[in-house]
Chains A and B, each alone.
Chain A
Amino acid sequence: MKTDPREIALLEGLAKNDRQAIETIYKQHYNMVQALIINNNGSTDDARDVFQEAMIVLYEKARSGTFELNCLLKTYIYSVCRRLWLKRLQQQQKFVSNIDVVSETVPVEDELEAHGQRNTEFQMMEKAMQHIGEPCRSLLEAFYIQKRNMLDIAGHFGYTNADNAKNQKYKCLMRLKKLFFAAYKNNTP
């Protein structure tokens, strides 16, 4: 099945973190997912978490350069959300048999496995960031995430010059790398 060109455009928008694309997908499919979750022992918060995770899966797929879903976007989102929710119910050890399938599904196990792997990596990074503490975290976030230049950062964080800031940033970075790689080695066999 050929993917709708409009949906391909949406995925391209996702890859660029295009707010408009996110909004469109959100509007079209969120209510369906919410109904699915609530009808199967979930709350609205659960619905939001699951839907957003599905959006991340979609984002990763778009970022990897494949915009061919081989099915409708709706079916894809439904399948991913159903799978994610089942997994979460199992983790909570709730009494579930099988979520009754109200619309067709496609196999999404491979994507979810890759997503799970990346998710753990991101969580390791987040954990490491939290562990290095302030002001290291803010300093590194400013440099690597917000990608501001050293001079700007030095002024913002009250360092006398860029070299001082650079010095500080280096120390922080070394600590972060140490923490991250320790966790990374533990988690990858």
Chain B
Amino acid sequence: MEEMQLLDAVERYIANEMPAEERAFFEQLRKTNPEVDQLVVEHTMFLQQMDRFSDWKQYKSTLHEVHVQLAEAGSIQEKAPKATIVQLWKKYQRVVAVAASIAGITALTISAIAYYFAPKPASEIRLLSQELANVKINQKRTDQKVDQALMNHTPSFRPPANPKSGGTGFLIDGKGYLVTSSHIVADADSVYIQNTKGDFFKVSTLYVNKQTDIAVLKIVDSRYQPIKILPYALQKNTADLGEEIFTMGFPRPTSEIVYNRGYLSAKTGYNGDTSTYQLAISANPGNSGGPIFNHSGEVIGILSSKQNTAEGVVFSSRTKNIFTALHEIRKDSTNEDRIKLLLPSSIKGLDRVQQIKKIEDCMFMVIRY
């Protein structure tokens, strides 16, 4: 009860509702009693707080009333002045912006990738034109080379087309004397020879013997470079039965040399002809006139014919017939040619590949027109 009275007194003191006498007494009490003083201070603060709180509440309610009143009067627009879509736009602007930029970046990336991997028609056309230019340049070069080649081969040295027949011939003297089969050069208007490099040389016929099927030719072309020493020799003795032999010739229309090998199957030829040998070797038209070598690189004969009724039977003229031919050439006093024969074969003992390499240069394709 005392506390209640005290608080009441404090309230009246703060509100300044005390008569002067009581007030003096109370102030005296405040000075002597710190608890009372404390209560006064505390309650003063609390009442101030209450006052301000009440003011605040009143002010707030006034604000609220004013708001409602003004809204009803239409002085302020309660409704949002903007449309919902605009509000939504405002709300999601950022999300939309982020989404749009992601979409944009994706689109750009995809198009970049597409551009990178897609075929590029424009640049390909350019490449093509460059290639065309290259082709043109190459064509020009080829033309130049052909022209140069034609310049080197003077037209007079290139025989006309359509030769009547062809065969094989081989040198017996490096100065330009060859031996071939007589049937190749018989009834010829003109005879040319072609070496393995494709060069043509004109030749004249020195001697023809249809019996032994031997012909001796002489190169009459100034471009011919004489060969000093022939690698092979001519065999003087008779060859032995079963001796291994090989030949080279031009059975193809091009000047491509073809090698073949076989053996001596009989010492006599067709129907016991003693001027020929019988050979077991594969031979084709064009091999005619080709030399028959034994293993030491000596010429034992000249390939001449093959028997139609038997398989693999080939006949060759003997080397002896060449000596005969040369002897007859020397006897002819009008002839100034001095054919010298080299006797030892220099390719003896070499292996076949080396032998062929050395012989090759002395082999010619004989072409009859």
Contact = CB atoms under 8 A, between A and B. Distances in A.
Interface of A: 17, 19, 22-23, 26-27, 30-31, 34-35, 38-41, 43-44, 48, 52, 55-56, 59, 63, 95, 118, 121-122, 125-126, 144-145, 147, 166-167, 170, 173, 177, 180-181
Contacts of B66: 19, 22-23, 26
Interface of B: 4, 7-8, 42, 46-47, 49-60, 62-67, 69-70, 75-82, 87, 90-91, 94
A116 B23 CA distance: 38
A17 B58 contact: yes
Contacts of B82: 38-39
Contacts, number: 90
A170 B7 CA distance: 8
A180 B49 contact: yes
A180 to B, nearest CB: 7
B94 A167 contact: no
Contacts of A170: 4, 7-8
B8 A26 contact: no
B256 to A, nearest CB: 89
B69 to A, nearest CB: 8
Given A17-B59, A44-B80, A177 B46 contact: yes
Contact of B79 (A23, A35, A39, A44): A44
B46 A31 contact: no
A121 B76 contact: no
A63 B65 CA distance: 21
A145 B80 contact: no
Contacts of A180: 46, 49
Contact of B76 (A31, A43, A63): A31
Contacts of B64: 52
Given A26-B66, A38-B81, A118-B52, 13 more contacts: A22-B62, A23-B66, A23-B69, A26-B67, A34-B80, A35-B81, A48-B67, A55-B63, A56-B60, A126-B53, A144-B51, A145-B54, A166-B4
Contacts of B8: 166, 170
Given A26-B76, A34-B77, A48-B67, A56 B59 contact: yes
Nearest to B95: A95
A126 B81 CA distance: 35
Contact of A19 (B42, B47, B62, B94): B62
A125 B50 contact: yes
A22 B65 CA distance: 10
Contacts of A27: 70, 75-76
Contacts of B65: 19
Given A38-B80, A38-B82, A30 B4 contact: no
A31 B79 CA distance: 11
Contact of B94 (A17, A63, A95, A126): A95
Residue of B67, B76, B78, B87 contacting most chain A CB atoms (<10 Å): B76
Nearest to B61: A17
B92 to A, nearest CB: 10
Given A22-B63, A39-B90, A144-B54, A173 B77 contact: no
Contacts of A181: 42, 46
The 4 closest A-B pairs by CB, nearest first: A145-B54, A170-B4, A125-B53, A30-B76
B53 A122 contact: yes
A11 B90 CA distance: 35
